[in-house]
Structure 1
Amino acid sequence: MESNILGIGTATPAHRFCQSEILGFMIKAHGLTGKDATRLEALYRASGIRYRHSVLDDYGAAVDDFTFYPKNERLEPFPTISPRMERYRQEALPLCLEAVSNLEKAIGLKANWQEEITHLVTVSCTGMYAPGLDLELLKQLGLTGDVQRTAINFMGCYAAFNAMKVADNICRSHNGAQVLVVCVELCTLHFQNQPTEDNLLANALFADGAAAMLISGKKKNGVNLTLANFHCDVDTTGENDMAWQIGDFGFEMKLSSYVPDIIKGGISKLTQKLLRQHGGSEATVDYFAIHPGGKRILEAIEEAVGIKKEQNWAAYETLREFGNMSSPTVLFVLKRIMESLSEKDDGKKVLSFAFGPGLTLESMLLEINVEGHA
């Protein structure tokens, strides 16, 4: 048995901000002036990001028009974890439903497709509650009560890979399995106003978004991505350079400037192991779907793997238009690649990477299968 990604649907919140708008908010919230403000401006210019989305409209609003943060430039009293989680509960489900609706359109699912779903996998590291998102999706989508549910939480930017591994194992083990995977992250709910290096970097990159995909043992007419192989490794020298913990005032991200160098040091070996298991090499790969954790990360991977920036176009486009949305982001990249494929790509391969706390390095090889062509 094999498993195939039949399609991907994505969604972003209605509030879309250019980097310069967010920069203005951050300078005021961090209380930066002079050289400190200039350095932050340079960081935002070098980010490779043009736009980001948020469930909060405050990042582009005047202080008096704030709807979540207190109406003063220092945002005091700073919101605690409780109102942030309440906002997550309000906003995550509608965004997921929009992503699933876009998945329906992308695949052209028939009217009663919900009856054929056997498994639901939900992914998030930016909020949690119980009964949770999985049960709310079950109810709102009209899935049957015997759908088997798996929640993948708090794994960060590489979590979609674990969801695909779960779906792959399910499809290989259960004939007729149809696995709906839904990833949602509301990173901007966890803005931290202390001007540490970690906070300044995280606040310049992260955004909100959701993605849904259908994984099946069967193929549909058109483009399918077959999950051919996975390989994971952990570089424990970077365990203190990327971390995510719950604090009194939201989830606190630790993201050091050394992460690109750590990834660069491990990605070549990871790639060789993955491709060797499948009897190939870098030369046999036609497309690259790399999680755009940041511009420097993309550049480090290109150098380590030996590819050109033009080959990494889908990651740069996603970073530019959406920023880093954590777990759904690599699915935005894959969606762009899927939409660019045609009959001539049948049999070609896609190499994908994502990274997260640990420091965890995930890799995946996909084969393009175009059904129904002459």
Structure 2
Amino acid sequence: MSLLSLATAVPGTILPQTEAKALVRRLFGTRTSRFDRLEPVFDNAGIVKRHIVRPPAWYEQDHGWRERNQVYLEAAEALYEECAAKALAAAGVAPDEVDALVTVSTTGIATPSLEARVAGRMGFRSDAERVPIFGLGCAGGVGGLAIAARLAAGVPGKTILFVTVETCSISIRLDKPSKANIVATALFGDGAAACVLRSGTAPGGGIATVGAGGEMLWPETLGIMGWDVEDPGLGVIFDRSIPPFLEQHMAEAVGAIAAKSGVAPDEIDRFICHPGGAKVIIALEQSLGVGQGALDHEREVLRDYGNMSAPTVLFVLDRVIRAGMPERMMLLALGPGFTASGLLLSRPQ
């Protein structure tokens, strides 16, 4: 399968990390001593700024489920349209030439799903296949792209539009000064990414060739990452065991995923990883044996955008492509389950 194009989009409001820290100190600092202990996470997160869907003052106010989800729908539709239009234009594909629409999003509820909501404005065909996917979290950028590639492989010449949109910031909960909420406020940003794929060899080779993918779901790990469904909104689950868990288990997962394609991990020239946080990047470098500092584009994306969940790894891929692709790569991301998703990519011949 050929990856014809990749595009990204972010909302217009920029939140510098210094402002995020001041915001949380203003709201939590007088209510709990926990903030004093956790304040350094803002300085050590490796983030300079992120993009968010509402002005900072919005997050200081009380919002219930209905209002939060309405913000999600408005922002997610706009981000979908922006990045999808850019990806289609870059691929030279008209909206009515798309045969299937794969959409990944886990930060809000959309029924009808996002691609249905924007279909009329985008100009998609009424018979285009729709595959909305919920629940993959940070692993959705890789898992969703792998699903889109498998759909493309089924029919020669089939064209797939894959879009992932996450508005993580609307889940920031300043009503509940828990450790997880404070950490989320230090990490979360909003963004979207879109890819156009087509089975067979694309004219000009496209920007990458998509190979096989795979997943590893570890048993008894449901409490490591995910959402608590609460009033007045989603509550983030972040367990402190994530970095040491990766150090211990990630190499095994990569080996198993690579083996499905008959590739050994040492034959992979570059791992392209979801940068969930500064400690996660360090743990990945250690587990993958790539050397400290090797995941440089991951650190840059984290610095400039924060953790946007599923789209983030595709922001990293975009930078790797622009810098000059190595021969063979593996996209990697981790998400609720606890699960690892991997997908092989290679430089077009």
TM-score normalised to structure 2 length:
0.93
Partner of 2:259: 276
Cα distance in structure 2, aligned partners of 1:252 and 1:140: 33
Q: Structure 2: how far apart are the matches of 1:229 and 1:34?
A: 48
| Counterpart in the other structure of 2:148 | 167
Q: 1:82 aligns with which of 66, 73, 77?
A: 66
Structure-2 residue corresponding to 1:9: 7
1:97-126: CA deviation from partner (whole Å, max 9, x where unpaired): 11123324543x15xx12210000111111
8 Å CA contact 1:6, 1:220 repeated in 2: no
Contact 1:27 / 1:33 at 8 angstroms: preserved in 2?
Answer: no
Counterparts of 1:316-335 in structure 2, within 5 Å, are 316-335=299-318
Alignment partner for residue 208 of structure 2, among 218, 222, 225? 225
Counterpart of 2:286?
303
The one-letter amino acid paired with 1:338 is I
Deviates more, 1:261-270 or 1:222-231: 222-231
Residue of structure 1 equivalent to 2:227: 244
Q: Which letter does structure 1 place at the counterpart of 2:210?
A: L
Give the aligned partner of residue 63 of structure 1.
none
Instruction: Show the counterpart of 2:134.
Output: 153
Q: Any idea what SS the aligned residue of 1:203 has?
A: helix
Cross-structure match for 1:50: 48
* Aligned counterpart for 1:260 among listed residues 231, 238, 243: 243
With over 3 angstroms needed to count, the CA separation of the structure-2 counterparts of 1:332 and 1:220, relative to structure 1, is: farther
Look up the equivalent residue of 2:237 and give its one-letter code: K
Cα distance, 1:101–1:134 mapped onto 2, change above 3 Å: closer
Q: Is the 8 A contact 2:166 2:311 kept in 1?
A: yes
* Contact kept in structure 2, 1:263 and 1:361, CA below 8 Å: no
- The SS at the match of 1:149 is strand
CA distance in 2, matches of 1:238, 1:197: 19
User: Does the CA contact (< 8 Å) of 2:286 and 2:292 recur in 1?
Assistant: no
Whether 2:181 is the aligned partner of 1:199: answer: yes
Q: Which residue in 1 is equivalent to 2:343?
A: 364
The 5 Å alignment of 1:30-45 reads 30-32=28-30, 36-45=34-43
Deviation at residue 173 of structure 1 after TM alignment: 1.1
Distance 1:240 1:37, change over 3 A: closer
- Structure 1: runs of 5+ lacking an equivalent: 59-65
Distance (whole Å) between structure 2 residues aligned to residue 87 and residue 35 of structure 1: 31
Is contact 2:28–2:35 with CA below 8 Å preserved after alignment? Answer: no
Please name the residue that 1:351 is paired with.
Answer: 330
**C-alpha contact 1:198 1:253 (8 A) present in aligned 2:** yes
SS in 2 for 1:311: coil
Shift of 1:38: 4.1
Q: Which amino acid aligns with 2:336?
A: P
Distance 1:215 1:24 in 2: 43
CA distance in 2, matches of 1:132, 1:271: 32
Instruction: State the partner residue of 2:194.
Output: 212
Residues 220 and 317 of structure 1: CA distance in aligned 2, closer, same or farther (over 3 Å): farther
What's the CA shift for 1:336?
1.1
Letter in 1 for 2:312: T
Task: Indicate conservation of the 8 Å contact 1:7/1:214, yes or no.
Answer: yes
Which deviates the most, 159-168 or 19-28? Answer: 159-168
Larger deviation: 309-318 or 352-361? Answer: 309-318
Q: Which structure: larger Rg? A: 1
**Does the CA-based 8 Å contact 2:215-2:342 persist in structure 1?**
yes
2:146, 2:343 within 8 Å by CA — same for their partners in 1? no
Opposite residue 365 of structure 1, the aligned amino acid is L
State the Cα RMSD in Å: 1.9
Cα distance in 2 for residues equivalent to 1:237 and 1:32: 37
Offset, 1:69: 4.8
**Matched-pair contact (CA < 8 Å) for 1:231–1:270:** no
The structural deviation recorded for 1:221 is 1.7
Secondary structure of the corresponding residue to residue 236 of structure 1: coil
Partner SS, residue 221 of structure 1: helix
- Any conservation in 1 of the 2:143–2:342 contact (CA below 8 Å)? no
Per-residue displacement from partner, 1:229-248 (whole Å, max 9, x unpaired)?
21211123432121213211
Contact 1:314 1:333 in 2 (8 A): yes
C-alpha distance in 2, partners of 1:290/1:268?
13
Contact map agreement 2:162 2:196 (CA 8 A) in 1: yes
Structure 2: gaps of 5 or more residues: none
